[in-house]
């Protein structure tokens, strides 16, 4: 039963939404829209399950090995504080203060660290182990050079070359990837819809 | 190897006394079968289990059977020590005192005090039958199972499985009869089990028990495990019995080839990147005189220059704070330009955080030019949820998607900038600032394809390559990567420069990447040469 | 012929996307046929994908040495369009979890998406139970960080910093946070294997991984690791790939000759 | 309770909060940038803080935008919005996953998520990727369609390369290897050759995309550094330097 019911629900909900994709009918549409809203609600609940897991994970680690308890405490306090600011005091401006002066700088600077990581990844990726790496190295350097705001000065053909690279080989490459991914997505979804796979049914 | 029958300690070959408990080992020599690993009495020539010939250590002679003495009830003691609690001991003592028997421990040289204590119970002769298995008594209550399974002496003698089950007659010469105690099955197996390095692992290792294996001749013949082997077996047992090896604090030995860049090199690289980033703060835009705007930027600048005063432009700030660093400067430049041309701007976002970022940009604008006012010249509509469906709703009626504005919460009709707007078709231009290709695709498919309004996309450099096809097909009038676009736009639109001086940093970054490519390949080539 | 077509067009309401429906009708029988074949034990040879070989080796190594593996499950949301990719990340996690659970070893799974968290917990619980160590299951063997992508990368990097791991396996939906995570932990982790299907993320993971899985290969994880029934899907994909290629070729010919 | 708290915060935020805000922001920016010197305590503090804030912020958003409004609707008009009750119940079942004895209860909502998600993915891949992309790859290769003379030829060549390139990349993902027989050998040989060309195109794509990300990420770093410089500059200005 604990396997049968979830599988049945998955198939019924899935086929209903799929029908909604292809057929326009008031009943199918309205139930389909409700199902999609339900997914949104479930995702919100899942987020709270995730937050509980995050708290539990760090509480457990604190009690288990006491290592890094300070950091973990900071995490838990920040989480709790933001939640309280957002849920208990929604109109107080506390959340926007936290967003503006803590969350935004942290997030944008974490994103800025990508610059370091891209360079250290380039250190590995630019190594000419084989022909593939050579092609990648040349393409990325050319595209990067042509991206500079004064690339026109270096050579008027450089932006044209970049445009051609992006227009033809890169478009072909991304299109091929998208097509392949679509094929994979379709068969994987069919596996779930036809219950060949049911990773959600835990024993 | 000699297994002490009392405490199961495994002593090295040739030991006379047990290392652990000090008891004499003279009469207890066990031999490991080279073929099946079973433990045999020293007098055995053939293995009791698989009948392989038991080889002797060099210089060793088979011990004549006559010299053999049956072991002194060893397993009982072992079991007692291991299993029974203090209560049993107390009970045993009480029993001993009841029977009034004297300890006979004097007859047993090498006994430990604890054994002596237990002695009386073992030695209490009550009847013939009891004399056969006297030691059982004290345990009756505790271990009924083992008593039930106890073998009679005769069975014990006959059974090859029972260690020390030699002929009964050979036993009573030097030791008292009471010691000819028939060990029960568990006890009999104890020494072997103790010597078995795999003891306790039955449930971990799903091998069939060795007993069921047919005889397999072995190449490796040795009389008994050496001390080293013994030590290794012990170590193995230790390791294997642990719940899971290396559970805590296991250190990963990193494969050297996998990394390539040690921490110090990493740090140097990062500092160089940082230096490239702060460079324009010192050079202050030396390279900006070389900047030459490209066609896409010029197209947008021309479009905006040609807009009549009072034209309506829709701007959608579809980016998250993560990419605000790249898109903000371009957004600022474009909005400055539009404000200078006194174009009316209607601002929305399809990402929840986007409208807040837009608000910050417009705050800067109103600080710079105070006569550019909210409601009159620009309006923030707010966040539009629903992705595709949300964008589709814009096509039909703007008022359906946004009933009130974001800042003043007033109906759109009350604000002069939005009062004349019914649908998307009333806009002259649409400018989308986005950090992901999917959003731009949605705009193109749901809005541009339906309404044919001139459409511009200002995106991060990361997603620009993916959107080039839309520019080629003419659906995007201009597609501008924001990082270099901001620099070029400030020059082309001659708006107040704030990102122009960053061109130095971009040049430095490119040079850095070039150097990285050279260095990594130089090192790689050198290592390759050394390797070959 | 035209009359038949016109009749068909009339019969089917306008709202139905005929091309899509046609494709689905083409897919279904192929999929069912090949999946039945695969389930009944029919096999065919697959081209080698080094990343999957590497994953198998790493899992064996982890089981033998007791060094845990970190599986990053990405940010594909179940119930959205990225469900298929999320399902593949769960398949890889299932493979690692089963092998690791058989020897009662540790594993660390992290995800940026709470819906994945719940299903991964179910998978780990099942694996531990099947291996005979139900008491070893802890819901906190899986960690949720996020849902912001960079918060995920930062959190997972923090978790990996506490204890070195044998490998970082990142399969699922990853954007730039995949590169962030891989590079930030590169000196705490023995090997990095992974990939994602979208082009932007795939390029970054290709640059930062020891062995990369690219695009459609993500969806082959089950067939290459431990689910022979997925071979049916691969066969379907191969056939449909050829159909798509033929469609493109025929379309180009028709367009160029002026029929369309 | 909440009024008292918000009142306190309101008093605080009028003055001090706006003063210390920029300082907090600047210091947190510096803390994250200290990663340059490896995983250090300051960075780790910022890291854990960020993780906590992100989860808390998302939780607050989910509560305020998804759960709370629907809960109010459900409580005010249960007969119309009864299905919200159903979804809330399923959502609570999802929370059961964290507790071992009840964890199988979460199968039900997960089944729903998987089913709907698979349908969305299937429909999206068919109508959003497969068919439009195949259509986009179908282009004329006749030079006259693009323009007169050399320009037309150049565009036609591009079109050929684009279509062939798409096919090549697609065949690079072909999974089956050679079976038995001559036809199979020929066929797989063709696919393999195309696939090799496809790998080259993939590498070009990756190179271009990598360059784009590199530029973006450096622009982000540059922005943060400029922000920091401006912060200290403003401060120095205020001090009259």
Range from B120-134, C16-30, D193-207 that averages highest in pLDDT:
D193-207
To which H or E segment does residue B457 belong? strand B455-459
Q: How far is D38 from chain B (nearest CA, A)?
A: 7
Query: What pLDDT, on a 0 to 100 scale, did the predictor assign at position A110?
Result: 93
Domain ranges across chain A: 1-64
SS3 B39: strand
CATH topology assigned to domain C50-226? Rossmann fold (3.40.50)
Q: Do D134 and C247 touch (CB under 8 A)?
A: yes
Answer with the residue of higher pLDDT: B460 or B393.
B460
Which of C47, C147, C237 is closest, CB to CB, to D177? C47
Question: Does residue C158 belong to the interface with chain A, where contact is any CB pair within 8 Å?
Answer: yes
Query: What pLDDT, on a 0 to 100 scale, did the predictor assign at position C94?
Result: 94
Q: Render pLDDT for D133-185 as a digit per residue (tens, 0 to 9).
A: 888 888 888 888 888 888 889 999 999 999 999 999 999 999 988 777 788 88
Query: What pLDDT, on a 0 to 100 scale, did the predictor assign at position B5?
Result: 66
Q: Render pLDDT for B289-330 as a digit per residue (tens, 0 to 9).
A: 888 888 889 999 999 999 988 888 999 999 988 899 999 999
Q: How far is C190 from chain B (nearest CA, A)?
A: 5
Q: What percent of chain A has pLDDT over 70?
A: 98
Q: Do A123 and B484 touch (CB under 8 A)?
A: no
B41 forms bridges with which residues in the sheet? B30
Q: Which of B114-128, B398-412, B493-507, C5-19 has the lowest mean pLDDT?
A: B114-128
Band of pLDDT at residue C44, cut at 50, 70 and 90: confident
Query: What pLDDT, on a 0 to 100 scale, did the predictor assign at position C16?
Result: 55
Q: Do A152 and B294 touch (CB under 8 A)?
A: yes
Mean pLDDT value across chain A: 88
Q: Render pLDDT for D79-136 as a digit per residue (tens, 0 to 9).
A: 888 889 999 999 999 888 878 788 888 889 999 999 999 999 998 888 888 888 888 8
Query: What pLDDT, on a 0 to 100 scale, did the predictor assign at position B373?
Result: 85
Q: Do D54 and C78 touch (CB under 8 A)?
A: no
How does DSSP classify residue A155? -
Place of tokens 């000819």: B180
Chain B residues 303-322 with CB within 8 Å of chain A: 321-322
Which of A174, C150, D231 is CA-nearest to residue B324?
C150
Answer with the residue of higher pLDDT: B90 or C181.
C181
Place of tokens 């993939």: D202
pLDDT at B520 over 60: yes
Chain A residues 35-54 with CB within 8 Å of chain C: 39, 42-43, 46-51, 53-54
Contacts A128 to C, Cβ<8 Å:
none
Question: Does residue D82 belong to the interface with chain A, where contact is any CB pair within 8 Å?
Answer: no
Provide CB contacts within 8 A for A75, sequence distance 6+.
Answer: A54, A58, D48, D49, D51, D52
Provide CB contacts within 8 A for B127, sequence distance 6+.
Answer: none
Encode B100-130: b = buried (16+ Cβ within 10 Å), e = exposed: ebebbbeebeebbeebebbbbbbbbeeeeee
Mean pLDDT value across chain C: 87
Query: What pLDDT, on a 0 to 100 scale, did the predictor assign at position D18?
Result: 76
A202 → chain D, closest CA residue:
D104
Alpha-carbon dihedral sign for residues D194, D195, D196, D197:
positive
CB pairs below 8 Å between A and C: how many? 194
Query: What pLDDT, on a 0 to 100 scale, did the predictor assign at position D214?
Result: 94
Encode B414-426: b = buried (16+ Cβ within 10 Å), e = exposed: ebebbeebeebee
Q: How far is C63 from chain A (nearest CA, A)?
A: 23
* Rounded Cα distance, C185 and B69, in Å: 66
pLDDT at B136 over 50: no
Q: Report the pLDDT averaged over residues C8-36.
A: 77
Query: What pLDDT, on a 0 to 100 scale, did the predictor assign at position B146?
Result: 37
pLDDT at B261 over 70: yes
Q: Do A53 and C144 touch (CB under 8 A)?
A: yes
Chain B residues 388-417 with CB within 8 Å of chain A: none
Band of pLDDT at residue B88, cut at 50, 70 and 90: very low
A101 → chain D, closest CA residue:
D25
* Rounded Cα distance, D148 and D145, in Å: 8
DSSP string covering chain C: -HHHHHHHHHHS-TTS-HHHHHHHHHHHHHHHHHHHHHHTT----B---HHHHHHHHHHHHHHHH---EEEEEETPPTTSTTHHHHHHHHHHHHHHHHHHHHTT---EEEES-HHHHHHHHHHHHHHHHHHT-GGG--GGGEEE--SSHHHHHHHHHHHHHHS-EEEEEEEEE-SHHHHHHHHHTTTTEEEEEEEESSHHHHHHHHHH-SEEEEGGGGGGHHHHHT-GGGHHHHHHHHHHHHHHHHHHHHHHHHHHHT--
Band of pLDDT at residue B501, cut at 50, 70 and 90: confident
Whether B421 contacts B414, CB under 8 Å: no
CB pairs below 8 Å between B and C: how many? 53
* Rounded Cα distance, D187 and D180, in Å: 11
Chains that touch C (3 or more CB pairs under 8 A): A, B, D
Domain ranges across chain C: 50-226, 228-260
Question: Does residue A83 belong to the interface with chain C, where contact is any CB pair within 8 Å?
Answer: no
Query: What pLDDT, on a 0 to 100 scale, did the predictor assign at position B162?
Result: 36
Question: Does residue C218 belong to the interface with chain A, where contact is any CB pair within 8 Å?
Answer: yes
Beta strands in B254-362 (DSSP E): 312-318, 344-349
Band of pLDDT at residue B134, cut at 50, 70 and 90: very low
Query: What pLDDT, on a 0 to 100 scale, did the predictor assign at position B482?
Result: 92
Q: How far is C50 from chain A (nearest CA, A)?
A: 15
Q: Render pLDDT for B170-222 as a digit per residue (tens, 0 to 9).
A: 333 343 333 333 444 444 344 444 455 555 555 554 444 444 445 555 555 55
Q: Is the peptide bond before C147 cis (omega within 30 degrees of 0)?
A: yes
Place of tokens 């955080």: B353
Which of A14, A76, A116 is closest, CB to CB, to D119? A14
Q: Do D127 and C24 touch (CB under 8 A)?
A: no
pLDDT at B111 over 50: no
Q: Do D216 and B466 touch (CB under 8 A)?
A: no
Torsion region of B524: left, alpha or beta (phi above 0 gives left; psi -120 to 50 gives alpha): alpha
Q: How far is A48 from chain C (nearest CA, A)?
A: 8
Long-range contacts: D230-239, Cβ < 8 Å, 24+? D231/D22, D231/D25, D231/D26, D232/D26
Query: What pLDDT, on a 0 to 100 scale, did the predictor assign at position D10?
Result: 55
pLDDT at B457 over 90: yes
Query: What pLDDT, on a 0 to 100 scale, did the predictor assign at position B165?
Result: 37
pLDDT at C5 over 70: no
Reported ipTM: the value is 0.89
Query: What pLDDT, on a 0 to 100 scale, did the predictor assign at position C153?
Result: 93
Query: What pLDDT, on a 0 to 100 scale, did the predictor assign at position D90?
Result: 92
Query: What pLDDT, on a 0 to 100 scale, did the predictor assign at position B103?
Result: 42
CB pairs below 8 Å between A and B: how many? 109
Q: Report the pLDDT averaged over residues B129-141.
A: 38
Q: How far is B136 from chain C (nearest CA, A)?
A: 37
Q: Render pLDDT for A115-155 as a digit per residue (tens, 0 to 9).
A: 999 999 999 888 888 888 899 999 999 999 998 888 888 88
Q: Render pLDDT for A39-92 as a digit per residue (tens, 0 to 9).
A: 989 999 999 999 998 998 888 888 877 778 888 999 999 999 999 888 887 767
Instruction: Please state, as a whole number, how many other Cβ atoms lie within 10 Å of the Cβ of residue C28.
Output: 13
Contacts D165 to B, Cβ<8 Å:
none
Q: Report the pLDDT averaged over residues C44-69.
A: 89
Chain D residues 154-213 with CB within 8 Å of chain A: 158, 161-170, 172-173, 198-213
Query: What pLDDT, on a 0 to 100 scale, did the predictor assign at position C136?
Result: 86
Q: Do A186 and C27 touch (CB under 8 A)?
A: yes
Beta strands in B218-343 (DSSP E): 312-318
Question: Does residue D203 belong to the interface with chain B, where contact is any CB pair within 8 Å?
Answer: no
Mean pLDDT value across chain B: 69
Copy the structure tokens of residue B29.
């020599």
pLDDT at B71 over 80: no
Q: Render pLDDT for D31-79 as a digit per residue (tens, 0 to 9).
A: 999 999 888 899 999 999 999 999 999 998 888 888 888 899 899 988 8
Copy the structure tokens of residue D108.
């039900």
pLDDT at B151 over 50: no
Which of C84, C120, C116, C82 is CA-nearest to residue C221?
C84
How does DSSP classify residue B46? B
* Rounded Cα distance, B280 and B275, in Å: 9
Q: Report the pLDDT averaged over residues B428-441.
A: 91
């Amino acid at each position: 039963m604990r396997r049968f019911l979830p599988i049945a629900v998955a198939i019924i909900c899935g086929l209903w939404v799929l029908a909604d994709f292809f057929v326009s009918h008031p009943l199918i549409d309205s139930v389909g829209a409700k199902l999609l809203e339900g997914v949104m609600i479930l995702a919100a609940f899942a987020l709270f399950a995730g937050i509980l897991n995050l708290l539990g994970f760090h509480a457990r680690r604190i009690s288990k090995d006491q290592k890094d308890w300070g950091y973990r405490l900071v995490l838990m306090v920040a989480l709790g504080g933001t939640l309280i600011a957002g849920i208990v005091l929604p109109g107080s401006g506390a959340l926007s203060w936290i967003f503006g002066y803590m969350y935004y700088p942290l997030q944008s600077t974490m994103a800025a660290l990508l610059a370091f990581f891209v360079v250290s990844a380039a250190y590995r990726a630019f190594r000419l182990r084989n022909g593939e790496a050579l092609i990648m190295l040349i393409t990325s350097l050319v595209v990067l050079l042509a991206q500079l705001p004064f690339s026109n000065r270096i050579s008027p053909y450089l932006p044209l070359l970049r445009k051609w690279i992006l227009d033809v080989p890169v478009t072909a490459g991304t299109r091929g990837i998208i097509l392949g991914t679509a094929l994979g997505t379709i068969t994987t979804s069919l596996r779930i819809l036809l219950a060949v796979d049911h990773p959600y049914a835990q024993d | 190897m000699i297994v002490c029958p009392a405490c199961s300690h495994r002593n090295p070959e040739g030991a006379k006394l047990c290392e652990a408990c000090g008891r004499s080992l003279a009469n207890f020599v066990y031999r490991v079968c080279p073929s099946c690993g079973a433990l045999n009495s020293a007098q055995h020539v053939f293995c009791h289990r698989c009948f392989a010939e038991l080889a002797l250590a060099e210089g060793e002679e088979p011990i004549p059977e006559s010299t053999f003495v049956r072991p002194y009830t060893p397993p009982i003691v072992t079991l007692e020590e291991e299993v029974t609690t203090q209560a049993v001991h107390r009970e045993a003592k009480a029993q001993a005192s009841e029977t009034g028997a004297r300890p006979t421990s004097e007859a047993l040289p090498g006994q430990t005090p604890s054994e002596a204590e237990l002695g009386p119970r073992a030695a209490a002769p009550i009847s013939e039958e009891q004399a056969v298995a006297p030691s059982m008594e004290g345990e009756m209550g505790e271990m009924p199972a083992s008593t039930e399974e106890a073998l009679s002496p005769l069975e014990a003698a006959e059974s090859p499985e029972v260690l020390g089950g030699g002929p009964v007659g050979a036993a009573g010469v030097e030791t008292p009869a009471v010691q000819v105690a028939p060990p029960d099955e568990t006890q009999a197996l104890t020494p072997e089990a103790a010597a078995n390095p795999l003891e306790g692992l039955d449930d971990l290792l799903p091998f069939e028990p060795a007993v069921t294996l047919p005889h397999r001749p072995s190449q490796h013949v040795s009389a008994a495990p050496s001390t080293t082997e013994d030590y290794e077996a012990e170590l193995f047992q230790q390791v294997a019995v642990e719940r899971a090896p290396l559970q805590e604090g296991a250190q990963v030995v990193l494969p050297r080839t996998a990394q390539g860049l040690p921490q110090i090199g990493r740090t140097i690289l990062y500092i160089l990147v940082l230096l490239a980033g702060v460079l324009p703060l010192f050079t202050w835009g030396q390279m900006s005189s070389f900047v030459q705007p490209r066609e896409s930027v010029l197209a947008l600048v021309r479009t905006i220059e040609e807009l009549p005063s009072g034209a309506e432009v829709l701007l959608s700030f579809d980016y998250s704070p993560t990419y605000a660093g790249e898109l903000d400067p371009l957004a600022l430049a474009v909005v400055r330009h539009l404000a200078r041309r006194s174009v009316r701007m209607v601002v929305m976002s399809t990402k929840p955080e986007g409208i807040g970022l837009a608000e910050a940009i417009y705050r800067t604008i109103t600080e710079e030019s105070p006569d550019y006012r909210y409601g009159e010249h620009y309006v923030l509509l707010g966040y539009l949820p629903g992705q595709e469906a949300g964008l589709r709703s814009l096509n039909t009626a703007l008022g359906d998607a946004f009933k009130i504005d974001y800042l003043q919460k007033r109906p759109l009709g009350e604000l002069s900038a939005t009062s004349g707007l019914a649908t998307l078709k009333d806009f002259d231009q649409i400018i989308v600032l986005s950090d992901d290709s999917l959003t731009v695709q949605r705009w193109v498919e749901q809005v541009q394809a339906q309404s044919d309004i001139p459409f511009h996309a200002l995106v991060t450099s990361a997603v620009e390559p993916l959107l080039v096809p839309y520019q080629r097909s003419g659906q995007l009038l201009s597609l501008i990567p924001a990082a270099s676009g901001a620099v070029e736009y400030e020059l082309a639109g001659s708006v107040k420069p704030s990102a122009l001086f960053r061109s130095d940093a971009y040049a430095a970054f490119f040079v850095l990447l070039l150097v990285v490519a050279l260095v990594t390949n130089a090192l790689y080539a050198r290592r390759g040469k050394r390797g070959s | 012929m035209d009359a038949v077509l016109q009749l068909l067009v009339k019969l089917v309401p306008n709202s139905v996307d005929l091309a899509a429906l046609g494709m689905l009708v083409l897919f279904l029988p192929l999929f069912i046929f090949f999946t039945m074949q695969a389930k009944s034990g029919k096999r065919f040879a697959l081209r080698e994908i080094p990343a999957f070989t590497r994953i198998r080796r790493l899992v064996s190594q982890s089981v033998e040495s007791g060094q845990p593996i970190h599986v990053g499950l990405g940010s594909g949301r179940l119930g959205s369009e990225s469900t298929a990719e999320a399902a593949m990340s769960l398949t890889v996690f299932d493979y690692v979890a089963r092998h690791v659970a058989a020897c009662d070893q540790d594993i660390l799974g992290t995800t940026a998406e709470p819906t994945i968290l719940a299903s991964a917990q179910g998978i780990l619980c099942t694996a531990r139970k099947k291996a005979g160590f139900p008491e070893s299951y802890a819901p906190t063997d899986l960690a949720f960080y996020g849902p912001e992508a960079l918060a995920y990368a930062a959190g997972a990097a923090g978790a990996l910093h506490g204890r070195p791991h044998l490998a970082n396996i990142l399969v699922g939906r990853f954007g730039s946070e995949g590169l962030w995570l891989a590079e930030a932990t590169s000196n705490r982790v023995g090997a990095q294997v992974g990939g994602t299907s979208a082009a932007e993320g795939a390029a970054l993971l290709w640059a930062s991984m020891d062995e990369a899985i690219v695009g459609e290969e993500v969806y082959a994880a089950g067939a290459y690791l431990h689910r022979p029934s997925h071979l049916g899907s691969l066969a379907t994909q191969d056939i449909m790939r050829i159909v798509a290629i033929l469609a493109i070729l025929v379309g180009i010919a028709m367009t160029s000759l002026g029929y369309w | 309770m909440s009024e008292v708290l918000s009142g306190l915060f309101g008093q605080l935020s009028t003055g001090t909060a706006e003063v210390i805000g920029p300082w907090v922001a600047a210091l947190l920016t510096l803390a994250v940038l200290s990663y340059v010197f490896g995983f250090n305590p300051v960075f780790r503090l910022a890291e854990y803080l960020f993780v906590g804030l992100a989860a808390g912020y998302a939780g607050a958003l989910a509560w305020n935008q998804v759960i709370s409004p629907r809960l109010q609707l459900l409580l005010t008009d249960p007969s119309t919005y009864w299905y919200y009750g159903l979804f809330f119940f399923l959502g609570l079942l999802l929370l059961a996953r964290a507790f071992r004895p009840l964890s199988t209860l979460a199968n039900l909502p997960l089944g729903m998520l998987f089913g709907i998600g698979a349908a969305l993915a299937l429909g999206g891949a068919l109508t959003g990727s497969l068919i439009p992309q195949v259509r986009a790859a179908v282009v004329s290769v006749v030079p006259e369609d693009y323009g007169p003379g050399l320009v037309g030829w150049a565009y036609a060549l591009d079109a050929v390369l684009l279509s062939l390139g798409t096919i090549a990349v697609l065949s690079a993902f072909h999974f089956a290897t050679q079976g038995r027989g001559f036809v199979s050998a020929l066929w797989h040989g063709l696919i393999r050759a195309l696939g090799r060309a496809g790998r080259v195109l993939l590498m070009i794509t990756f190179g271009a995309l990598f360059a784009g990300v590199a530029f973006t990420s450096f622009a982000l770093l540059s922005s943060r550094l400029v922000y920091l410089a401006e912060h200290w500059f403003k401060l120095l200005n205020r001090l009259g330097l």
